[in-house]
Structure formats: structure tokens, C-alpha cells
Chain A
Amino acid sequence: MILITGGRVLDPASGTDAISDVLIDGGHIARIAAGISAPDAEIINAAGSIVAPGFIDLHCHLREPGQEISETIETGTRAAVAGGFTAVCCMPNTQPVNDNAAVTRSIVDRAATAAHARVWPIGAASVGSKGEALAEIAGMQDAGIVAVSDDGRPIATAKLMRQVMEYCGSLGLPVIDHCEDTSLAAGGVMREGPRSIRLGLKGIPAASESICVGRDVEVAALTGARLHIAHLSTRASLDYVRAAKAKGLAVTCEVTPHHFTLIDEDIVYDTAYKMNPPLASGDDRDALLDGLADGTVDAIATDHAPHHPASKDVEFDRAAFGITGFETAIALALSELVHTKRISLMRLVELFTTGPANVLGIGKNGIERKLSPNAPADITIFSPDHKWTFRASDSASRSRNTPFDNREFRGAPMATIVAGRIVYRRPAAAATV
């Protein structure tokens, strides 16, 4: 038994916001009440912290199978739980691509023995994510995928998008798209604008994203199926999503912590600032902050993309796109959204729990997120005020590619519980004071 004492319980599903104790027995929540006595239980003192349903990351790259030099399911999920995530959705751009049931099963089996968090694979929409034939989607669904995507690249054509959406609509799987017009973006390494001109780095126009979002929203209207826009980064894209929601279409979107924290003007010749989509303009960032506050954005997702130095410690033009993100996500959300009074703590919890759960479909695959007796004991405990410094060298991830190295934060994940097991506890602060 585990007893979490004195924390502020925040549960968007029920609207609960109260100081309570939470008792966990086996893999489930047993009781939520003030002043629970359980002499045999392991105690987690959560005074001053938030006790929330387990956080879900809709978008990450665990690199296994095939790119274990950058990350594995073991190291990736160790970083995930250190970042407060109890479940992560891993994108299919592994080697081989997760485009068939055998690869899905290998990921699920590996996760069963090595993972610290729940691993919910996302299957490829097309064979090899090449944008031609549809992948073995139903087979992957039986093996455990929760969504489909050709992430890393867009679903190639409107025609393919229509087929994938009609098919996935019938299977009840959301289609996640990495929106990018690859002809406009070709060769680009950062957002096109005054900063790209100054640095002499080839720009990717903001329209390369929104053109594709517009296309996808049209196809969502045509098919009625569920569409989720990955790592949305521009005002124009958000406007498409807002308009689609107003029309009642099943369109959702996620935003990454780096896109609501940094902008293109922050970019220097350091490949830790190179990711796709690239950091957007200040105006786009402002739009994302508004969307996070007004409910247009459904979820915060990390797009955790570990890369070995061999593909990052190179010319900016040649470097791989992507940064790690698990361990800084909560701290960035607190710093940029809550401490700045843009959103409430409850809204923050929603963006990491019921928001992503709704994208995937509440209730399936143990995805529901709520704190109530008999619910699975997936719990994230974080402090809104704990002061700490993130050091990439201390990361649990196998990779170090982050622009947030040595950043000082207020707010941190404190403990993570998956299926009633404590999978992470923040080490006690070094006794320096």
C-alpha cells in the first residue's frame, strides 16, 4: 500500500480540488479522503505538491527498435517518469517503421519487461510511412496501437489522407498528422523570417504547416473521422483548428513546451535549437499561448526526439531535427503558463491528462484519466514551486540534445506512480543549505 499525504488533489474529470490523502492498494486507488490512516503503507509526503491523474505524452520518439544509440524503451521511459509522465505514445518512425503487427508486438513486449511508464505505440498510416499503400492498421490495432501517423513527415497526399481517415474512422482510431508542405519546406532548417535572413539559414515558411492543416481539416470534414494535429506551431494553423471545432468537426491539436517557450529570435548556431516544426515567430507563440488558455489546444505533448551527438554535433544545415523533452515539460508549462497567470493549475493538469486522453478516446486501453476509487493508480505528483536546475548531463534519457540545459526552474515533478508502483521519486535536494 502507498499513502500520499497532504497533497492538493486536482482531478479535471471530477473537478476535485482539495487537500486530501490518497491511498493506493495494489494497482488501484483505494480511497481519497482527508486524514487517512494506513500504518503499513509506504508514505509519500505530498504537502505543498499537486496530486494529479497520471500525465500522458501523446508524442514522443523512443527510437527502439533500430536507433538504440539515441534512446531505448527503457531509457526513454525512465526519462518520461522522471518528467512526471505515466504513459507515452511513441511514434512509428523507428527502424523498421512500426507499420505492421509484428513490430507493434515487439514494442509492446519490450515495454512489458523494460518500460517504467505505460507505452502506447502509434502505428504508421502507410507502409514504411512512404505515403503510398495503407499500413496493416487493423492488425496493429489488435497488437496495441492507439493512433496512426506518418510522423516525421506528413501523410503524403489528400487522397491518401482521405483513405486513411475513412478507414481509421471505422476502426475508431484517431489519425495524427505532422503537417508540412514538403515542397515549401524543402531544405529549410528554421522558420523563415528576419532571424533566418540574418543567420543565413534556409527558412521554412509558416505557411508550409498551415497549408497542410487546412487540407487535413477539409478531409476531416469530408470523412467525419477524428483528426489530431501534431506539434501545431503557427497562428494560422490554430485558426484552422478553432474554425473546425466551431463547426463541430472532430479535430484536436497538441502544442509542445518548446513552441510555447522559445521563438525563432532565440535561435543561435546551436543545433539544440533545430527541430521540426521549427521555433515560430513571437506572434505565433502568442497565438499558441492564447490557444492553450482558451481551450483550442487540447494537449501539451513533448515531441521528445533524442539524437546522438553524431547527428547533432555537426553543421546546423546537416543536423537532425528534434530535441529531448520529457524532463522539462512540466517545469516549462508551469513557468510559461501557470506562473505567468495565463492558465490555472487545473487547466495545466487537463492539458496533460484528460486533454490527451480525449484525443485518444476515453475508456479504451485503460486510457481514462481520473482520480477515484477503483481507478488504475496512475498518479503524477508535482510541485508548482520547487526550485531546481535542469542539467542535461543528469538526464535519464540516453541523449542530451536540449536547448534547456542549465535552465533554472520553479516547479518540478516530485513522484510518479504507474499501476500502483512508485516508478520515480525526486532525489532529496543535496544538503548544501
Chain B
Amino acid sequence: MNEVQLSTTPVLQRPRHLLGIEPLTAEQITFILDQAKPFQEFQRHPLKKLATLRGKTVALAFFEPSTRTRISFATAAARLGADTMNLQAESSSLKKGESLIDTVWTLEAMRPDGIVIRHAASGVPEFIARRLEIPVLNAGDGTHEHPTQALLDALTIRDRKGRLEGLNVTILGDILHSRVARSNIHLLSRFGARLTLCGPAMWIPKELGCLAPNIRRVSRIEEAVEDADVVMVLRVQSERINEPPISMDDYILRYQLTPERLRLARPDAIVLHPGPIIRGLEIDPAVADGPQSCILEQVTNGLAVRMALLFHLVSGAPPDAPHPAKEASA
């Protein structure tokens, strides 16, 4: 058997930025997940503060409103000992008509050591990475990618299933407009997952099949959920610019993940949701709160993944540097 030796990391190319999952190899993804493991344990420490990034500053540039991802990154940075600078859409000079590039130059002039970007337009993290010297972490760009969400989902799946390889993963909802779905499709297909995309036909266009091999598009939820190891439920946005809204009653009728529908999946199937959930719309509360739901675990894992990424991208430590969380508990 040809076992990949992941502990011998010198061959691992550490990317300078995290712009998306698409540019990453399976080895790089596994490395990040492995590095997140000790940080998972660390969240249970009574004293959740490391000195690893002491003296470093992370800019949190959230050009689009966000609560959970922003708080998660801010907490991850704080627990590594970094300071943060906050830019929020609601209060920023963007409201006054400043261009993206001017806002970015202004942030850079305050000399952060890394920048976390959330933006409503696809491609903005790359736009910024091309112009700045510091590492750029994508916290969600338009309908393009949300790489940290896919990584925390992968960590959750790996914990529960013991592996990422060869799983049946079903993604439900508005795949067309979902950056979470795109990042998850890129990530899980690296590990040979069989992906089933399910939703109203206009949300699962055939071109999605070009993103990766082994993608199936299904319009009936019962068929989509059958034999699934993982069911990922996406949030449904009722209003979109330039597009006629669909009937939410129809959506509930045909696509809500109910306990009956979930029973068609494997008995040990797990349910993920990137949040925020809307109870009674895309997911039945009995499923959201049920034993198969990993929704809150995902939130905790988000901290661990983001700490691992900030540690490796912002500290400048070599890939085989001693792990700060292990050092702390030693």
C-alpha cells in the first residue's frame, strides 16, 4: 500500500494566501486539518490564550455584513495572542463612496501582518492578494468560495466519519449562489467523494457538473438523500437581485430536510449547516436539534481551523514548527 507520509512536511508547499480551496492539494488540506486538531482540544482549556501571534496584527475587513465568521476569526486571532483591526461594512468609509482599492491601501498603511476579507463580489481576495505583500485569507467572496467553511466542515466530517475518502455527500439548496457549496465541492472531490446536488432546477444548473468529477444533480430530495453519509443543508435566501423569487411554501414542501427524509440516508448519516439556520424553512427543527446534527460542533471547529490557518499564514512559522497548542498543554 502506498501510504502518504503526511508527517514529513518539507515537501509541503505552504501557500502564501488562502484564496480558495480550488488551488489547494489534498496534502495541503490534510495538513491544515491535522494542524487544526490540537486547536480543537485547546478550546476546552480554562485559559484560552496563547502568545503565538503576540505582537502581530490581523486586519478583519468585512465588506459584507457577517456575524459568525467575523466573530470566529476575531476569537481565533485573540486566542493566538494577535491584535485585530476591524473594518465593517456598516460603519466603513465604503458607505461614503471610497473605492475598494483605497480602503485596502488605507488598511495596509496601518501595517497589519495579515488580512481576512469578506466581500460580496467574487474575486476580491485575489484582487487584494495581487496588490499586497501580506497574507490574505478569504472569509467568503461573493458566490465564489468560502474556504474556511469547507475546511471546518471537513474537520467535522473527518471527526465523525473517521475519513473523508469515498463518502456520499448530499448538498441541498441554492447551490448556484453558494460559495459554501463551491468550496465544499472542491474540497470533498479532492478526496473522492460522490457528490449529489439537490434543489430547484434553476439552482443546480448543469455547469455545476464541470466543477469536479462524480457530481450528480438530482431534483427530488428523497432520491438525493438516499444512502448519504453526509447531508449538507444550505441557507435559502428568499430575495436575490435580478432574479424572480421562488415560492418559499414550495421550497418547504419539496426541499425541507425533515426527519422522514433524513431516514432515507444512512443510519449514521450526519447533518451539517453553515448557518445561520432558518428553522422551519430549509431544515425541520427536529433535524436541526437532533442527534445527527453537527451544527454547533461546526462552530467550534471553525475556531480550530481558523487558528491553524492564522498560525501558519501569519506567524511565518515553517510547516514543521512545534505546534503551539501542544506546547501549551505540555
Given contacts A269-B122, A313-B101, A315-B100, contact A200 B127 (CB under 8 A): no
10 interchain pairs, CB-CB under 8 A? A186-B242, A193-B207, A197-B207, A198-B182, A199-B122, A269-B122, A269-B126, A315-B121, A316-B127, A318-B121
- Tell me which residues from 183 to 228 in chain A have a Cβ below 8 Å from any Cβ of chain B: 186-187, 192-194, 196-202
CA of A197 to CA of B144, assembled, Å:
8
**Contact, CB under 8 Å: A317 / B121:** yes
CA of A314 to CA of B97, assembled, Å:
12
CA of A38 to CA of B207, assembled, Å:
65
What are the interface flags for B93-123 relative to A under an 8 Å C-beta threshold, 1 for contact and 0 otherwise?
Answer: 0000001110000000000000000011111
CA of A310 to CA of B126, assembled, Å:
18
Residues of B within 8 A of A193 (CB): 207
CA of A318 to CA of B142, assembled, Å:
12
Query: Which of B22, B123, B210, B242 sits near A316, CB closer than 8 Å?
Result: B123
**Contact, CB under 8 Å: A198 / B100:** no
Given contacts A187-B241, A310-B99, contact A197 B208 (CB under 8 A): yes
**Contact, CB under 8 Å: B207 / A200:** no
Given contacts A199-B123, A315-B124, contact A187 B101 (CB under 8 A): no
Query: Which of B101, B119, B210 sits near A198, CB closer than 8 Å?
Result: B210
Question: B205 near A: Cβ within 8 Å?
Answer: yes
Given contacts A199-B144, A315-B119, A315-B127, 18 further A-B contacts (CB under 8 A): A192-B207, A193-B207, A194-B207, A194-B210, A197-B205, A197-B211, A198-B22, A198-B182, A200-B122, A200-B141, A200-B143, A201-B122, A202-B143, A314-B99, A315-B123, A316-B122, A316-B127, A317-B120
CA of A179 to CA of B211, assembled, Å:
30
Which residue on A lies nearest to B177, using beta carbons?
Answer: A200
**Contact, CB under 8 Å: B210 / A269:** no
What are the interface flags for B34-49 relative to A under an 8 Å C-beta threshold, 1 for contact and 0 otherwise?
Answer: 0000000000000000
Residues of A within 8 A of B127 (CB): 269, 315-316
Interface of A is mostly: loop
What are the interface flags for B142-174 relative to A under an 8 Å C-beta threshold, 1 for contact and 0 otherwise?
Answer: 111100000000000000000000000000000
Which residue on B lies nearest to A200, using beta carbons?
Answer: B144
Residues of B within 8 A of A201 (CB): 122-123, 142-144
Query: Which of A186, A197, A269 sits near B123, CB closer than 8 Å?
Result: A269
CB distance from B99 to the nearest CB of A (A): 6
- Tell me which residues from 307 to 328 in chain A have a Cβ below 8 Å from any Cβ of chain B: 310, 313-318
Which residues does B use to contact A, with CB under 8 Å? 22, 99-101, 119-124, 126-127, 141-145, 176, 179, 182, 205, 207-208, 210-211, 241-242
CA of A199 to CA of B120, assembled, Å:
13
Residues of A within 8 A of B182 (CB): 198, 200
CB distance from B208 to the nearest CB of A (A): 6
**Contact, CB under 8 Å: B208 / A200:** no
CA of A304 to CA of B249, assembled, Å:
49
CB distance from A44 to the nearest CB of B (A): 43
CB distance from A267 to the nearest CB of B (A): 10
Number of chain A residues whose Cβ lies closer than 8 Å to a Cβ of chain B: 20
Residues of A within 8 A of B241 (CB): 187
Residues of B within 8 A of A315 (CB): 100, 119, 121, 123-124, 127
CA of A201 to CA of B182, assembled, Å:
12
CA of A269 to CA of B22, assembled, Å:
14
**Contact, CB under 8 Å: A197 / B210:** yes
Which residue on A lies nearest to B209, using beta carbons?
Answer: A194
CA of A194 to CA of B126, assembled, Å:
20
CB distance from B143 to the nearest CB of A (A): 4
CA of A310 to CA of B102, assembled, Å:
11
CB distance from B158 to the nearest CB of A (A): 25
CA of A193 to CA of B179, assembled, Å:
17
**Contact, CB under 8 Å: B101 / A314:** yes
Which residue on A lies nearest to B142, using beta carbons?
Answer: A200
Q: 8 tightest CB-CB pairs across the interface, nearest first?
A: A200-B144, A269-B123, A187-B242, A315-B121, A194-B210, A200-B143, A200-B122, A317-B121
Residues of B within 8 A of A310 (CB): 99
Which residue on B lies nearest to A194, using beta carbons?
Answer: B210
Residues of B within 8 A of A197 (CB): 176, 205, 207-208, 210-211
CB distance from A298 to the nearest CB of B (A): 33
CB distance from A358 to the nearest CB of B (A): 39
**Contact, CB under 8 Å: A200 / B124:** no
Residues of B within 8 A of A314 (CB): 99-101
CB distance from A201 to the nearest CB of B (A): 5
CB distance from B96 to the nearest CB of A (A): 16
Query: Among A187, A196, A269, which residue has the most Cβ atoms of chain B within 10 A?
Result: A269
Which residue on B lies nearest to A184, using beta carbons?
Answer: B242
Which residue on B lies nearest to A188, using beta carbons?
Answer: B242
CA of A318 to CA of B123, assembled, Å:
12
CA of A315 to CA of B176, assembled, Å:
20
CB distance from B217 to the nearest CB of A (A): 12
Which residue on B lies nearest to A186, using beta carbons?
Answer: B242
Residues of B within 8 A of A186 (CB): 242
Which residue on A lies nearest to B101, using beta carbons?
Answer: A313
Query: Among A194, A196, A200, A313, which residue has the most Cβ atoms of chain B within 10 A?
Result: A200
Which residue on B lies nearest to A318, using beta carbons?
Answer: B121
CA of A201 to CA of B100, assembled, Å:
18
CA of A314 to CA of B119, assembled, Å:
12
CB distance from B136 to the nearest CB of A (A): 13
Which residue on B lies nearest to A311, using beta carbons?
Answer: B99
CB distance from A181 to the nearest CB of B (A): 13
Residues of B within 8 A of A196 (CB): 207
CB distance from A10 to the nearest CB of B (A): 44
Which residue on B lies nearest to A201, using beta carbons?
Answer: B122
CA of A316 to CA of B119, assembled, Å:
12
CA of A413 to CA of B122, assembled, Å:
38
Which residue on A lies nearest to B99, using beta carbons?
Answer: A314
Which residue on A lies nearest to B240, using beta carbons?
Answer: A187
CA of A201 to CA of B120, assembled, Å:
11
Which residue on B lies nearest to A313, using beta carbons?
Answer: B101
Residues of A within 8 A of B141 (CB): 200
Residues of A within 8 A of B211 (CB): 194, 197-198
CB distance from B300 to the nearest CB of A (A): 28
CA of A201 to CA of B141, assembled, Å:
10
Which residue on B lies nearest to A310, using beta carbons?
Answer: B99
CA of A197 to CA of B210, assembled, Å:
9
CB distance from A318 to the nearest CB of B (A): 7
CB distance from B290 to the nearest CB of A (A): 32
CA of A193 to CA of B209, assembled, Å:
11
Given contacts A194-B210, A197-B208, A200-B143, contact A316 B101 (CB under 8 A): no
CB distance from A313 to the nearest CB of B (A): 6
Residues of A within 8 A of B210 (CB): 194, 197-198
Residues of B within 8 A of A198 (CB): 22, 182, 210-211
Residues of A within 8 A of B99 (CB): 310, 313-314
